[in-house]
Structure 1
Amino acid sequence: MTVAGLVALVLLLVIAAYACAGGTDYGAGFWDLTAGGAERGERPRWLIDHAMAPVWEVNNVWLIFVLVITWTGFPVFFQTVFAAMWLPLALAAVGIVLRGAGFALRKPARRLAGRRLYGAVFAIASLLTPFFLGAAVGGIASGRVAPGTAASPDNWANPTSLLFGLLAIGMTAFLGAVFLAGDARRFTAPDLDGYFRRRALAALAVVAVLTVVMLFVTHDDAPHVWHGLTRGVGLVLVVLAAVAALATGWLLLRTADARWSRVTAVVAVASGIFAWGMAQRPYLVPVSLTVSEGAGAPTTMRWLMLVTLVAVVLVFPAVAYLYWLDTHGELDSLTDADLRRGGAGDEA
């Protein structure tokens, strides 16, 4: 494998990491939006706040890696995509900022109107951001953003883009519900466990339907990707994603502890991302820009690999450890009772 091919593989790995980690947070925002009114949605939103608080900011680390690797390792690809689809990408960027601000400000806001406003901003942005990111990916997969392509609504408002956008929402809703069901068990809230299990199963069914529709749509609208998804490595990854999705559904239906459902859900989504990436080989943009044509200078690529290696050694273990602490309940915020006990111990 060439250096450019290796960097492209690293880029795909980081995209999958962001889709799974950031996607879980986007999914939590989706369920916040659909939780209902203040009384009905109080408990689901309580769980969403407690589950997201420790890790929601760190998930953007993967997005930063995606941007750095893209503009450094594949500058032609970066210029092509951002010039042709600046509008959906700009809307996605605004959504990332707004959802972060909404989530951070809705809890400390003193007035009910302020909490509702910030909560609505967080929830709506959590829905729109993955849609626009998915629409941009669909524009790439359908080959509508060849080098020199001018910005146009057709670049991202086409059948493949719209379907990828809906799939992005569905996958984030699926991941969010699976992880929230696990968090409900951690917080000993059996009612919320069942609540989010049912929603995870519903989201999984929607994703399955959209995936089937995608195969029909891409046959005519993105033939190169369809060919890659139905043959070779792409087909193997599609089958792996399907098996992992079925395993997740089976685990969610069990009455016993379904902690492994998180693992299988991540495998399902990550396999889908890899299936798309492998289906595009050897192109960054089918069928106009190959990996080798879009790569930066050889010296740049070697330095990029060195920096990536340093990140693997220093950053990735720290992020993985943070996720482990969060999923094992080691980062739960202190309660008033904890603070009182601490104060009493100091006085003693």
Structure 2
Amino acid sequence: MTADLMAVVLLLAVAAYACAGGTDYGAGFWDLLAGGAERGRRPRGLIDHAMAPVWEVNNVWLIFVFVIMWTGFPTLFQAVFSAMWLPLALAAGGLALRGAGFAFRKVVTRLAGRRLYGAVFAVASLVTPFFLGAAAGGIASGRVKLGTEASADAWSNPTSVMFGLLAVAATALLGAVFLAADARRFEAPDLVVYFRRRGLLSLAALVVLVVITLVITREDAPHVWHGLTHGAGLVLGVVAGAASLVTAWLLTRAPGGWVRASAVGAVACAVIAWGLAQRPYLLPTSMTVAEGAGAPTTLTWLAFVSLVAVVIVVPAVVFLYWLDTRGDLEELTETDLRQGGGPQEGDTAGTV
């Protein structure tokens, strides 16, 4: 019973990181595609101001995921990190480089340095979610088992590639939606239109990728495909689809808090649908929740610590998000947008 409870907590923590961290990755994705210095100055200025108050706290959810894995499900942790050490190491490297790029590009004075750190931040924002998604796809396809040695097939198979692309598209959607709402709050109508269009494009790409993924997983990950097309997995998938339609409708209007909620709901429901589709397995079809769980005493204490975190940490993080979305942490002026977060001349990270 305790093992099942902690498996649910683990899934919810993964969903929380997908939404919170995904929004940050999505902002970096649009930074990459913002264009040269003149064209991308205002979008990058908005991205810098929107991310600055909360970009570090989002990793709390990732740390929580790892703590639950290695403490509550050590066998799962061993299997995943043995078979997937390379994509996970690449994701970790991207996470570190992304943070360094975001921090240093705002303080260096030389143009070449700002270009370099801006490019590092933007590219790492694309690489990190892709490899995290690829690792999840390897698990979903059943290629990860206890004792599986690391190999390219474990994370470069069709399901892994599609999961990686889905992760990138989902983060792009979240980033565009949140930035469009921020642009409205900062009274920058041109950036509202800018990010609203990109949100709709991301949503369209996400829908296409979901359809392709379902086709591929039918042969490559049959257990997960069955779970996604039947029972609770299907229900959550339908809810995710409905939330996506609501998001599309709200993006055609004035984006605000509701479109953020619908986008987060769509991504969270999709992640939870994947978790429910794997039932009763942690690793389809080789490791059940009971087989991967740690000692009962450890699980009991882990449940207690998780409860303490829910009572103390989660409200504080939610309150921080609330302050940020209200604009109470930092104000943005037209002068800030004109100055931007990138170099004053030349290209930073892309030309799209």
TM-score (norm 2): 0.94
Which residue number in structure 1 is paired with residue 96 of structure 2? 97
Deviation at 1:259, TM superposition (A): 2.7
Structure 1 residue 304 corresponds to structure 2 residue 299: no
Instruction: Write the mapping of 1:309-320 to structure 2, written as runs, cut at 5 A.
Output: 309-320=307-318
1:77 to 2:76 alignment:
yes
Supply the distance in 2 between the matched residues of 1:27 and 1:257 (Cα, whole angstroms). Answer: 17
**C-alpha distance in 1 between matches for 2:33 and 2:327:** 26
Is structure 2 residue 131 aligned with structure 1 residue 132? yes
CA deviation after TM superposition for structure 1 residue 16, in Å? 0.4
Deviations 1:204-243 (A, max 9, x none): 0000000000110000000000000000000000000000
- Aligned residue identity for 2:261: V
User: In terms of Rg, which structure is larger?
Assistant: 1
Match of 2:257 in 1: 259
Distance across 1 between alignment mates of 2:143 and 2:164: 16
Residues 182 and 325 of structure 2 are in contact (CA less than 8 Å); yes or no, is this contact kept in structure 1? yes
- Match status 1:329 vs 2:327: yes
Amino acid at match of 1:277: G
* Matching residue's letter, 1:270: A
Cα distance, 1:258 vs structure 2: 3.7
**Residues 263-322 of structure 1: CA deviation (Å, up to 9, x unaligned):** 000000000000000000000000000000000000000000000011011100000000
RMSD: 1.1
Instruction: Find the counterpart in structure 1 of residue 276 from structure 2.
Output: 278
In 2, Cα distance between equivalents of 1:164 and 1:223: 15
Listed one character per residue, the Cα deviations across residues 152-189 of structure 1 (whole Å, up to 9, x for unaligned) are 00000000000000000000000000000001011110
Encode CA deviations 1:18-77: one digit per residue, 9 max, x unaligned: 000000000000000000011100000000000000000000000000000000000000
Describe the SS at the equivalent of 1:284. Answer: strand
Please state if 1:287 is matched with 2:285: yes
Task: State how 1:15-34 maps to structure 2 within 5 Å.
Answer: 15-34=14-33
Which residue identity lines up with residue 180 of structure 1 in the other structure? L
Does residue 66 of structure 2 align to residue 64 of structure 1? no
> Counterpart in 2 of 1:178?
177
The number of residue pairs the alignment matches comes to: 334
Matched residue of 1:302: which SS?
A: helix
Distance 1:333 1:270 in 2: 29
Classify the secondary structure of the residue corresponding to 1:146: coil
In the alignment, structure 1 residue 44 sits paired with structure 2 residue 43: yes
Which residue of the partner structure matches residue 346 of structure 2?
none
Match of 1:179, SS?
helix
> 1:342 aligns to what?
none
Structure 1 gap ranges (5+) = 338-348
Q: How far apart, CA to CA, are the structure 1 residues paired with 2:274 and 2:289?
A: 15
Q: Give the match for residue 85 of structure 2.
A: 86
Aligned to 2:343: none
Structure-2 separation of matches of 1:116 and 1:190: 27
SS in 2 for 1:40: helix
1:164 equivalent to 2:157? Answer: no
2:344 aligned partner: none
Moved >6 Å (runs of 4+): none
Query: Counterpart in 2 of 1:150?
Result: 149
| Gap runs ≥5 in structure 2 | 336-352
Q: Distance in 2 between matches of 1:230 and 1:71?
A: 31
Which residue does the alignment assign to 2:190?
Answer: 191
Partners of 2:194 and 2:332 lie apart in 1 by 26
Cα distance in 2 between the residues matched to 1:281 and 1:118: 42
Query: Larger relative contact order (C-alpha < 8 A, sep ≥ 6)?
Result: 2
